[in-house]
Structures are given as C-alpha cells and as structure tokens.
Amino acid sequence: MSLPAIAVSQTPEDKFREYLASRPKPQRFTDQQRELLAHVFARHSHFDAEQLIDNLKTAGKRVSRATVYRTLSKLVDAGLLRRIELGARTVFDHDYGYPAHDHLVCETCHSMTEFQSAELEAILEKVAQEHLFRAEGHTLVIRGICTACNAARSAKPRLVM
C-alpha cells in the first residue's frame, strides 16, 4: 500500500527554509540542498543515504556526500523526514505531507510495506493516557517475512534424509 500525500500549509522547501532561518545561528539554503530536497520529495519512497547519493548521480545532480548526510540530518530535525533504524541500516521516510503510518519490514528481501491502523493508534493513545504521557509521535517497525518470501520458502523442496 502506498500512502497518498496529504495537503500541507507549506511546501517542503518553504518549511526547510523556515527551519534554517530559525536556527540559533541562521543558515543559508544552498543550491545543493535545493536539488536534494526537490529530488527527495519528487517521489515517495524509503531510501538510505547511499541510495540517495546514487540516485542523485544517476539523475545528473551534483551533490557532495557530506552535504547529503548533513542535509538528511537537518531534514529530520526540521520534521520533513523520519529516520527509521533497521539494524545496521538507516532508512528515511517522508514525515511531512504524508499521513501517520507504520511499517512492515521483511527480514528476507528487506521490502517495506506502509500501513495505517486506527485500532493501533487508539491502543497507543490509551497506553499513553494510562501512563500520563503526552505522545508526540511514534515509529513502529514490525519485522517478519513477507508473503512473497514465505511463498518462495514454502516452494523450495525439502531435503529428506
């Protein structure tokens, strides 16, 4: 399931510019950051920094590796992207302009499936209330084996001794 974008009051670029300007020491918005931001928000997909660097190169964009890593961190701080830790791999997901959602991650093929669950949201809200906790967000990753990998595993002949 791919989630549809939702209406937001600012473009990702405007929101990022606002974030940079509001820093204790205001920072300028560079052409490389503009290219990176436009590329990231032109499509909704999960990616890691190295995939982004490769995709930018393929698209003919010249953005340094250091700028990619620094800008990804700033985009997370600005509330535009969400960092998802998957063991040794860190992937990024849109956190701005898309509804709240969680992920199913296949341990075999590493596919990520987005999902929304009103029931799960209600449970999380109830747990927070029971602990007098004001939740501001969450990241839920459910690890397991996807349907395709389960089917492939079932189709393999078993060794009989």
Binding positions are 102, 106, 109, 121, 138, 146, 149
> Residue 158 carries which DSSP code?
P
Interaxial angle between packed helices 31-41 and 49-58, expressed in degrees from 0 to 180 and rounded to the nearest 10: 100
> Residue 156 carries which DSSP code?
S
Q: Is 155 exposed, middle or buried (0-12, 13-18, 19+ CB in 10 A)?
A: exposed
Binding residues for Fe cation: 102, 121, 138
Q: 3-state class of 109 per DSSP?
A: coil
Binding residues for Zn(2+): 106, 109, 146, 149
55: its two tokens: 């995709």
Q: What is the DSSP string of 85-103?
A: EETTEEEEEE-SSS---EE
